[in-house]
Structure 1
Amino acid sequence: MASSTPLPALWLISDARNDAVLEAALRALPRGSGFVYRHYHLGEAQRYARYLALMRHARARSHIVVLADSALTAREWGADGIYGAPRALWPRRAGLLRIATVHGMDELAQANLFGCDAMMISPVFGTNSHPDAAALGPAAFHGLARHALAPVIALGGMDSDRARALGCERWAAIDGLTPGAAP
């Protein structure tokens, strides 16, 4: 992703639950949205094949594609960036967007230290991905976001109504952007 390319406001996250509806979800997103491909549930060959199929749909809509994997794999697969814990995103790799997962102040401080390009702060609200995880809630989310030195993306139980109520410019979802996904 070129540094002059604006960071998308809306991000779709892949998961085993929404796999069957991802093509339709990618088509429904506004042009130039973001897509984070995780699919940890698949073996290596299957994961790569599914990535290629979904990347074609994403590219047809000019979406930014970010891979939850190493910088080396992201380059080999043609992704625009990488997604993961702040330590996994260091050192910086030229030409790759780095989106850090942030669940608290320690990870936020690491993401700041490593100069990550964006931070997905989660879980803002209760989520099916991590049903036992304590949600941050709006106050703690905004408290963390105030300390971020990079753009913040809200994740966890997000949908358009919650994003609007939260007053968050950027947000991401699994279930909130894939109606009809498996429970």
Structure 2
Amino acid sequence: MSKKIKLPSISKVKKALHDDWALRVKQRDGWKCLLCGGDELLTAHHWYFTSQRGHTARYCVDNGASLCFTCHIREVHENPGWATVDAVRRAVIANSPDFDEKNIRNLSFVDLTTTVLRSMWDAMRSRPVEIGATGWQVKETGKKLFLSVFRLHPLAAVGNTMNVPGKGVCEVLVAAKIDDGYRYTLGQLEQ
């Protein structure tokens, strides 16, 4: 029987799941604000349903919308009229061919227990980000492994796993934006 890998702290798991959710929302929306089309200072907004108590709808991609900082604050949080909410809803549906509003509502009733968090964490880490054949560079410095990729590659958040050619599956420990891409500090996982 294989030994279960120890789950990091609950706060680290929630942050990793949130960062992964936000990244997937922005990728789905083509790195553009759904209201103004801008691409600067993008945030991911829970457009449909969220609350102070934890539930799994927080990590549903269809419950997210990419908004620039200005639209997020001015249009959504300061003046949340029906026209704004409807515009965001229509844009999310247009970007998500498998959109299912009922699924979001159902997920809002599933509490974030430790067991649920573990299954979400395991699911996130079981789908490593695949990088392309070119446009990346790996450097080893002592025990650290650094991966630099150009923007055209799929991105990863801290806590994600990445399939690195020649190194196998690694955990993303740090993700930093650089001029024309991203630099990741990676930790090799035991095989």
Output the TM-score relative to the length of structure 2: 0.25
Q: Of Structure 1 and Structure 2, which has the larger fraction of its residues in strand?
A: 2
**RCO comparison, higher one (Cα < 8 Å, 6+):** 1
Output the TM-score relative to the length of structure 1: 0.25
